[in-house]
Amino acid sequence: MSTQHGEGSGGESQGLIRTPKQLIIVVLLAFVVPVAAIVMLALFVTGGKNLDPAGSSARSAEMIAERLRPVGRLWVAGEPPPPGAQPAVLVGAVKVEKSGEAVYQQVCAACHTSGVLNSPKIGDKTAWGKLIPQGLDYLTKSAIAGVRQMPARGGNPALTDLEMRRAVVYLANASGAGFKEPPAPVAPVAGAAGQAVATAAAPA
C-alpha cells in the first residue's frame, strides 16, 4: 500500500519540462520575451521615431567641436582677432587709486597713530619738522622702499606709487607740511579695437 502511494506522488511531482528540448525552449523564452517587451515599450513611448538621426546637428563634428571648445580665447594685442571673435572694449577700466586718508587708515595708522617702532606720530610737528624739509619726493621714495623698521609700502605691496605718495602727503600735511595733493591719473579713452586712443585731434 505504501508502494502505490510512492508511485502516485512521484507521478504528480513531474512538471511540464520533461525533455532537454523543452528546457532549452523555456530558457530561450525567458531571455527573448523580456527583451521583446522592452523594445516594444520603447517603440510605443517614442512613437517609432528616431530621436537622434545620424545626420542631426547633435552628432555632427562641428557641433561636437563647438561643445568642446574652451570658453575663452587668447588674443594678443596687435595680432588679428580669431574668426568670429568679439574683442572686449574696456572703457574706464583704470584702477581707482585710494586717497591718502584711506591708505593711512588701512595701513599707516597702526604705527603712526601711537608711534610704534619709533615712527613719527601723525600731528607731531616736532618729529615731522625734521622730515618735511627733505621734500615730498624723498619721503615718498623712502616710504615705497621702506625705512628703518618700516617695511616697503608699509607692508602692503598692492599699494601703488601714487597711493603711497598720497599717504605721505596726508601724513605730512596733518603734521605741518603744505604738500600739494598728487593729481589723479588721466583715464585713456578706449577705441573700437580696445586700444587707447588720443583725445586730441590729429594734425591736418
Residues 111, 116, 121, CA angle at the centre, nearest 5°? Answer: 65
Of the segments 37-51, 53-67, 157-171, which one has the largest average pLDDT value?
157-171
Taking the complete model, does pTM exceed 0.75, yes or no?
A: no
pLDDT at residue 65, as a whole number: 76
CA-based angle 157:109:152, to the nearest 5?
Answer: 25
Grid cell at residue 96:
581707482
Q: Quote the pLDDT of residue 81.
A: 65
- What does the pLDDT read at residue 49? 59
Q: What would the mean pLDDT of 74-93 be, rounded to a whole number?
A: 61
What pLDDT is attached to residue 141? 92
Asked if residues 193 and 99 have their Cβ atoms less than 8 Å apart, the reply is: no
Per domain, the residue ranges of the chain are: 17-50, 100-173
Question: What is the assigned CATH class of domain 100-173?
Answer: mainly alpha
